[in-house]
Amino acid sequence: MKLHELAALVGTSVGEDASLEITGVASLQEARPGDVTFFGNPRYLAQLRTCRASVVIVPLDFQEEITPVVCRVENPSAAFAAVVAAFAPIDIVPPSGIHPSAVVDPTAIIGADVSVGPLCVIEAGAVIGQGTVIGSGCLIGGESRIGTGCRLYAGAIVRERCVLGDRVILQPGAVIGSCGFGYEFKEGRHVKIPQTGIVEIENDVEIGANTTVDRARFGRTVIGEGSKIDNLVQIAHNVQIASHTIICSQVGIAGSTRVGSYVTLAGQVGLAGHLEIGDKAIIGAQSGLSKNVPEGSMVIGAPAKPMKEWKQNNFYISQLGKLYERVKELEKLVGR
């Protein structure tokens, strides 16, 4: 890729040699001549100053004098993502058709241009939309419905009667529709409560590897349109997640909690059951929530508190050692 092609790709212009050859992408620390990289976080300024890349994508207000050619853009990370995609190898998509080792019930409805990989099982009454790719070893349960243009990677499971919209991505090992965790203690035993509902996943959702979404006790567990869920997340029965929410790795959401739109749940957040998380709320990493969170709030900690209060409390805690020493000195002065 020539420099002028790179500039056009990220929506900017350069005054330097437009014919400069760009041969790859790399991080600030690992970049070599011929590479393009990006700078978007001031904490990496030291790495930038020693960077050997040919081109660095930077924010519009960047003023540092550096050796590489500079491409100024509004969002360096997003621009670099476009460059990485341009250099990426072509995605390997299996050819359409059903592999001879797959087991497909004759009552299943398979759309045009669907790919069903080796050792898949598609049970009775399942419907798979046009252009969907079912990777090797997947299970599509009876009477489940999968929309058009979906991608299910190896070992993903969609259990009976669950519904996936269009362009849904399930990473390897994702399980949709496992039984919700519900028991009644009766006569000295934990007796299973039937989980008769389904999971409904709306359009353009991506669910990470080994993430589990439990079917509802009754009704639906819902993952809203455009939401993105990381690896190793547990979503319990009857949880309702609205549109375009981000859920990071190792989050656990207990039953019947409702999460609004454009919410961010950072890594290892735990939500108790039957909570309401308002739209655009941000929950910091390793937080534990036992109460509702209003719309637009930023909370962190266990138990979770407003971000400002949490920072203030942490500052107070950091001063306890000094306060202890001062108290000891004062006790000496008063003869205690």
* CB-based burial label for 74 (10 Å; 0-12, 13-18, 19+): exposed
Helix 307-318, helix 320-333: angle, nearest 10: 40
Closest-CA residue to 117 (of 146, 131, 137, 140): 137
237 is catalytic: yes
Measured distance CA(161)–CA(210) in Å, rounded: 20
* Spatial CB neighbours of 33, under 8 Å, sequence gap ≥ 6: 52, 53, 54
Q: How many residues does the chain have?
A: 336
Coil/strand/helix, residue 45: helix
Contact 147, 166 (CB under 8 A): yes
CA separation for the pair 25, 79 (Å, rounded): 12
Q: Which of 160, 204, 155, 156 is nearest to 179 (CA)?
A: 160
Catalytic residue among 4, 190, 237, 274, which? 237
Contact 180, 194 (CB under 8 A): no
Q: What is the CA radius of gyration of the chain?
A: 26
Catalytic residue list: 237
